Structure 1
Amino acid sequence: MSRRYLALLGVVALLALSGCTGLFGPQEADPGRLNENASYDWDSDADASIVLDRSSYRAVYDIRNNSTFVVYDRDGLGREQNVPIRALRFRYENGTVISAANSSLTATQGGSQTTIVFPDNVTGQVAYSAPRNGKSYATPAHLGDATYTVTLPPGARVGIPLLSQVSPGSYETSVDDSTNRMTVRWSEPVTARQIQVRYYLERDLLIFGGLVLVAVLVGGGGSLYYYRQLQAVKRKRKEAGIDLEEEDADDDPRDRGPPPGMR
């Protein structure tokens, strides 16, 4: 066997042992990561509630008599990929909250999805956190025909078409003055395959407005300068008699009417 094949097999083995691929099936999620702490909005009236922070998000989904729940994201090419979940919790209907540390609640992570495994067929709410970045958030609609809310980071807003975008439509927005957070709400069940929110920060609006004002002032100043230059050229031509000569040259005798005696 050549050295090239030996090196290739070594790389594949290292990746598989580190859990970076799904060559040997789904890998158990790190228990320490699943037991991290996070605060969740258990009291949301939506079937799915997602709160965006600067570099992460917290999601709460309603579960109805299920033993597993599958979540995944999509990369830039539209391919499914697993979600590196953290702070996994489950809340029963009676209000009891369990974690991976004190129950058989766990998760497995494959190459294209993450599967959350419950102790049994359960009804309640599952919650987890995961990393994110940028001023946009997109997620597959993991709950079909369900209501959703997405709460934006403090100071983030949607509503200006050039600076923000929300899909699907038919949504409502509200702002909590105490936290300065806007919530995008789909009160009717979402049938779209994906939910997407692109937002701007309030300070971005000030910067954008300033740039527009500068562009208007610069454009107006340029137009005024051009107009004044044009008027100066016209005055110089008039003083030199150039306009009069052109006017006489352009005066076609046929446009003066019929000759004397025929009028």
Structure 2
Amino acid sequence: MQRRHYALIGLVALLALSGCTGLFGPQESDPARLNQNASYDWETPEDATLVVDRSSYTAVYDVRNNSTFEVYSRDGLGREQSVPIRALRFRYDNGTVISAANSSMTATEGGRRTEIQFPGNVTGEVAFTAPRLGKTFATPTLVDGGSYAITLPPGARVGIPLLSQVSPGADGKTVENDRQTIRWEEVTTRGVSVRYYLQRDLFIFGGVALVAIVVGTGGVLYYYRQLQEVRRRRKEAGIDLEEEDYDDDPRDRGPPPGMR
């Protein structure tokens, strides 16, 4: 019995250390993490602006007379999960920027969502940074019906169907300083998703395709030459002539003897 008790205590402690909010409720985000430094573009015209890098992304969302803002993502099964945000900032319409360090703004990570609490009902823009991985970026529609812009990492592109996908279909694409930006004028779907490729991937795929073509062509030529050599040797040995006589259609030889 004692071993079972110890195992249960160990499991509870492990869940507590891992920040499992299902048992212990929402957990307030680490203030040091929220106060980390980051650069944000506050002047974009879209309601949601996301800049994607290799291991993280920054997000700037419009807030209109709200005291809270919820951030979450979806796993492969479509289940909501909280996002460990950092470098939290809020910019008022008059240009004043506040952080968790110089205001009462906080963030709480629940089991399904991360809730940002503002100092009262505010209007402006909230910004944060969050981790990410891979060549696919997807986010739920946190500003329903708003305009969106997603800027891809340097050298990343969408456009080739087999290597990339944009959902829903974009209203426009531009490239500036080797970074492609995808824009939607109004997003009414549950989320937006972008799968991209790096331009260097095209050189790799092109090189592989070229090698495959060269190897394939060389194989065909080698097979053709070998076949021609076999035919030449058979002809020199008189084998081809015998086979031609044997393979002749009897109907082409005329009527049987005695009927000619």
Q: Is TM-score (shorter-chain normalized) higher than 0.5?
A: yes
Structure 1 ranges of 4+ moved more than 6 A: none
How many Å separate the matches in 2 of 1:172 and 1:216?
36
Tell me how large the CA RMSD over aligned residues is: 2.2
Matches within 5 A, 1:49-64: 49-64=49-64
Helix, strand or coil for the counterpart of 2:24?
A: coil
Check the 8 A contact 1:16/1:22 in 2, yes or no: no
* Counterparts in 2 of 1:7 and 1:259: CA distance versus 1, 3 Å: closer
How many Å separate the matches in 2 of 1:17 and 1:132?
22
Identical columns (%): 73
Amino acid at match of 1:180: D
How many Å separate the matches in 2 of 1:17 and 1:228?
70
Check the 8 A contact 2:170/2:182 in 1, yes or no: no
Among 239, 242, 254, the residue aligned to 2:251: 254
1:231 aligned to 2:228?
A: yes
Task: Compute the displacement of 1:61 (Å).
Answer: 0.8
Task: Compute the displacement of 1:13 (Å).
Answer: 3.8
Check the 8 A contact 2:58/2:127 in 1, yes or no: yes
Q: Counterpart of 1:182?
A: 180
Matches within 5 A, 1:1-263: 2-16=2-16, 19-176=19-176, 179-187=177-185, 189-256=186-253
How many Å separate the matches in 1 of 2:250 and 2:157?
69
Task: Compute the displacement of 1:31 (Å).
Answer: 0.8
Number of equivalences: 259
Check the 8 A contact 2:74/2:81 in 1, yes or no: yes
Task: Compute the displacement of 1:257 (Å).
Answer: 5.8
Task: Compute the displacement of 1:116 (Å).
Answer: 0.9
Amino acid at match of 1:194: G
Task: Compute the displacement of 1:21 (Å).
Answer: 3.0
Task: Compute the displacement of 1:18 (Å).
Answer: 5.9
Check the 8 A contact 1:57/1:131 in 2, yes or no: yes
Task: Compute the displacement of 1:259 (Å).
Answer: 8.4
* Counterparts in 2 of 1:77 and 1:90: CA distance versus 1, 3 Å: same
Helix, strand or coil for the counterpart of 1:124?
A: strand
* Counterparts in 2 of 1:170 and 1:51: CA distance versus 1, 3 Å: closer
Task: Compute the displacement of 1:209 (Å).
Answer: 1.2
How many Å separate the matches in 2 of 1:184 and 1:84?
25
* Counterparts in 2 of 1:17 and 1:249: CA distance versus 1, 3 Å: closer
Helix, strand or coil for the counterpart of 1:70?
A: strand
| Structure 1 alignment gaps of length 5 or more | none
Task: Compute the displacement of 1:39 (Å).
Answer: 0.7
Amino acid at match of 1:150: I
How many Å separate the matches in 2 of 1:79 and 1:9?
29
